[in-house]
Structure 1
Amino acid sequence: MKRKTSIKLSILAAILLMASALYYLPYYVTKPGMAKELEPIIKVEGGFEEEGNFMLTTVRMGKANIYAYIIAKLSKYQEIYPVEDIRAEDESDEEYNIRQLHMMADSKTSAIEVAYTKAGIPVNYTYKGVYVLRVMPGMPAEGKLMPGDHVFEIDGKAFKSSDEFIKYVSSKKAGEVVKLSYKRNGKTDQAEVQLKALEDGSNRAAVGIQLVDDKEIDVDPDVTVQSEEIGGPSAGLMFSLEIYNQLTKEDLTKGYQIAGTGTITPDGIVGRIGGIQQKVVAADKAGAEIFFAPNEEGAKDSNYQEAMIAAKDIKTKMKIVPVNTFEDAVLYLENLKEKTS
């Protein structure tokens, strides 16, 4: 009898453990990810080889169950964020993932433009329309468009940018109907959408989508960046450095292991990212010797300042280098002495 009771209690405990592991709290947990070498995933046609390595750094993130939450509370370099700090209001997991992937695509395109321009090579764009990142609840596009849809015409007219699309819609009045041509999963379709006024005080007519340009960059020599498994824009700086290094004969790595992070704009401005201290930890574990961090024009709470705190705490020998622009990083590397064995 006692044995049967013991077995029942063990089964019940196992069920409770499984149930609690599958029950997610309204939080995300982030932790140090990895430092990944860029040369294997970025290839410039006929590009030059390098002795050292440029590395992007990542942060691992996932929904928190009770166990992940407790572990994060007790861990120094794990962070807990409420869902609303990560996802926009009413944004689904699908919309969030699509937004991250398109932010990465934009970052990649900007990195290519920065690197090729610095190398004195012409850059051209072909505009193909816009991608839908989010559909706003209660707005006309709800139920008609989906995240990931590729909108390429409005009222039978092609447009060259998201700005042009927004300008056309804004020229209309609330209540008017526009016809959107779009592609979803390889199939072309159309949707008629009755415009609605925004409730932000502007009274501007809108479809109710968050969008991003779909543009293809055209450069010679060709470059491929296999970034399918990477989300977000934070690898922009390191992408641009790797691409530029393959375009030029001088090896900017000088034999060093160089990690870093930061968004990049088409004019080469390096921007703030999240999880900088966790990325410092990841880079240190991977053996990086130099780490580029966004300086944000010397702001007191800049990524660079946060990175320095983490570097001191983990007692790394890695050199933390502040950068405001792509040019700052290039200049630092050009003045770097060759690594001696």
Structure 2
Amino acid sequence: MKNRRVNRKWELITSIVLGTLLIWFAMFYPLPYYIESPGGAMDVRSVLQVNGEVDQEDGSYNFTYVTVQQATAIKLLFAAFDSHSDIQSEQEMTGGADSEEYYRIAQFYMETSQNLAKYQGLTLAGKEVTMDFFGVYVLGLAEDSTFQGILNIADTVVSINGKTFESSAELIDYVSSLELGSDVTVGYVSSGIEQTADGKIIKLENGKNGIGISLVDHTEVTSDVPIDFQTGNIGGPSAGLMFTLSIYTQLADPTLRSGRVIAGTGTIEQDGSVGDIGGADKKVLSAAKSGATVFFVPNNPVDEAVLKENPNAKTNYEEALEVVEEEGLSIELVPVTTVQDAIDYLEKTKSD
């Protein structure tokens, strides 16, 4: 009888320990997956100051963001039943970069976004501004790139076959025109030292020829109008449109917001076009929850190569519209392809 009681006691203790470990594992053990879900919206004034002055006009411009967290078993379970959460593998989320590299990549995107916003905002406001192009930051390399082990994240590619360029678009066009398998010499700067390396032109995933690097512009903007960003750990390019609108408004038309709480998303390009972003469905939810009444969203045609792989692929606008209709959100969804589209809308709809 005594032995039975002892055995039951140890069975109970074992069950409690195993149960505790299982609960701990489910709640806290990080898995190689990430969960994206609606985040929030942030007033641009909290990270941007133009001409040394505080923007005190009524209303606000807000950039939206998604929340990204590493998954645990319990978080994965909840995310699986949440239509507004997406689960991605570690490889899909980071592209194979470690946490430090991933952070640096996000900061490079933010730096480029800020410079393009400065350039566009100042240009549209009629201010003198120049933007120098120094090359492209290396953000990653394809597995079959012949420059694996040579180029590294944060290196700056400054020339191809001795040719320099005025934009990343020019560089990409030139490389795409080279024959598959042909020799190519890349000039680059690594740790402040200019170097060259030889490799081959390969076929990229998008079907074009290239050297197999992901990239973003390395630029610098010069103007007599001081523009100061304090974005801290915030990374990525998707706030470009809202940064541009804020700069333009403060310099050219201070009452353009007309007291409205305006949110939006979209990259900004050198020609003023607004580029696509990820998570448009989540960002419009973030905007609506923050109290925004207007949401600007990119509306560029889906690339034909993407449509071939996924005939149901949607534009950013279509993604956002689906959520607005499903959730019955009280927010004006405004599709744009250029920053001028957004300015025109605000001018036409502002109150007298």
Shift of 1:244: 0.9
Letter in structure 2 aligned against 1:333: L
Equivalent in the alignment of 1:250: 254
Taking the aligned partners of 1:337 and 1:205, their CA distance within structure 2 comes to: 46
CA-to-aligned-CA distance 1:270-297 (integer Å, 9 cap, x gap) = 2322212211221122111221122337
Task: Tell whether the 8 Å contact from 1:110 to 1:264 is kept in structure 2 after alignment.
Answer: yes
In 1, Cα distance between the equivalents of 2:250 and 2:288?
Answer: 25
Match of 2:39 in 1: 33
Q: Does the C-alpha gap of structure 1 residues 35 and 174 become closer, same or farther in structure 2, counting only changes over 3 Å?
A: same
Per the alignment, do residues 191 and 118 of structure 1 end up closer, same or farther by CA in structure 2, a change over 3 Å counting? closer
The answer to whether structure 1 residue 72 and structure 2 residue 79 are counterparts is yes
Give, as a single letter, the amino acid of the residue that structure 1 aligns with 2:152.
Answer: M
Distance verdict in 2 for CA 1:95–1:209, change over 3 Å: farther
CA-atom RMSD, angstroms? 3.8
Write the deviation string for residues 97-156 of structure 1: whole angstroms up to 9, x where unpaired.
433332232222222222111101122123444422114446554344431235669999
Deviation at 1:158, TM superposition (A): 8.9
Q: Which residue of 1 aligns with 2:342?
A: 329
Shifted more, 173-182 versus 57-66: the winner is 173-182
Describe the shift of the 1:298–1:323 C-alpha distance in structure 2 as closer, same or farther (beyond 3 A). farther
2:159 and 2:186 in contact (8 A); partners too: no
TM-aligned CA deviation for residue 308 of structure 1: 2.7
Is 2:145 the partner of 1:115? no
Consecutive unaligned residues of structure 1, counting only runs of 5 or more, are none
Once structures 1 and 2 are overlaid, which stretch shifts more, 12-21 or 279-288?
12-21
TM-score normalized by the length of structure 2:
0.77
Q: Which residue of 1 aligns with 2:139?
A: 133
The 3 A distance-change label for structure 1 pair 279 and 174 is closer
Asked if the contact 1:154/1:180 (under 8 Å) is kept, the reply is no
Letter aligned with residue 22 of structure 1: Y
Matches of 2:233 and 2:196, distance apart in 1? 35
Cα distance in 2 between the residues matched to 1:64 and 1:157:
45
Equivalent position of 1:52 in the other structure: 59
Kindly indicate whether the alpha-carbon contact (under 8 Å) linking 1:135 and 1:209 is maintained by their aligned counterparts in 2.
yes
Please, which runs of 5 or more residues in structure 2 have no aligned partner?
A: 1-5, 304-312
2:68 maps to which of 33, 41, 61 = 61
Alignment deviations for residues 4-57 of structure 1 (CA, whole Å, 9 cap, x no partner): 4423322222223334442414x4321100100001211111445321110001
In the alignment, is the contact (CA less than 8 A) between 1:284 and 1:318 conserved in 2? yes
Which region of structure 1 is more displaced relative to structure 2, 279-288 or 61-70? Answer: 61-70
Counterpart of 1:7 (choices 13, 20, 42) is 13
1:102 aligns with 2:116: no
How much has 1:65 moved relative to structure 2? 2.7
How much has 1:305 moved relative to structure 2?
3.0
Query: Once the 2 structures are TM-superposed, how far is the Cα of residue 189 of structure 1 from its aligned partner?
Result: 4.9
Once the 2 structures are TM-superposed, how far is the Cα of residue 262 of structure 1 from its aligned partner? 1.6
Q: Is the 8 A contact 1:152 1:182 kept in 2?
A: no
Name the counterpart of 1:311: 324
Residues 129 and 271 of structure 1: is their aligned pair in 2 closer, same or farther, counting only changes over 3 Å? closer
Distance apart, 1:95 and its partner CA: 4.5
Q: Percent identity?
A: 33
Q: Normalising by the residue count of structure 1, what TM-score does the alignment of the two structures yield? A: 0.80
- Larger deviation: 65-74 or 158-167? 158-167
Question: What is the total number of aligned residue pairs between the two structures?
Answer: 331
Are residue 214 (structure 1) and residue 218 (structure 2) matched?
Answer: yes
Q: Are residues 210 and 3 of structure 1, via their aligned partners in 2, closer, same or farther at CA, if it must alter by over 3 Å?
A: same
Equivalent position SS for 1:39: helix
Q: Is the 8 A contact 1:94 1:147 kept in 2?
A: no
Q: How far did 1:180 drift?
A: 5.0
- Alpha carbons 1:104, 1:231 under 8 Å: kept: yes
Which residue identity lines up with residue 103 of structure 1 in the other structure? Answer: Y
- Deviation string, structure 1 residues 57-107 (Cα, Å, up to 9, x no partner): 11112333322221111113212234555454x555554443333223222
Distance 1:135 1:95, change over 3 A: farther
Which amino acid is the alignment partner of residue 321 of structure 2? Answer: M
Distance in 1 (CA, whole Å) between partners of 2:210 and 2:287 is 47
Distance 1:139 1:75, change over 3 A: closer
Q: Does 1:262 align with 2:275?
A: no
Paired AA for residue 330 in structure 2 = K
The amino acid of 1:258's aligned partner reads: I
Distance 1:110 1:247 in 2: 16
Cα distance in 2 for residues equivalent to 1:175 and 1:290: 51
Q: Any conservation in 2 of the 1:195–1:205 contact (CA below 8 Å)? A: no
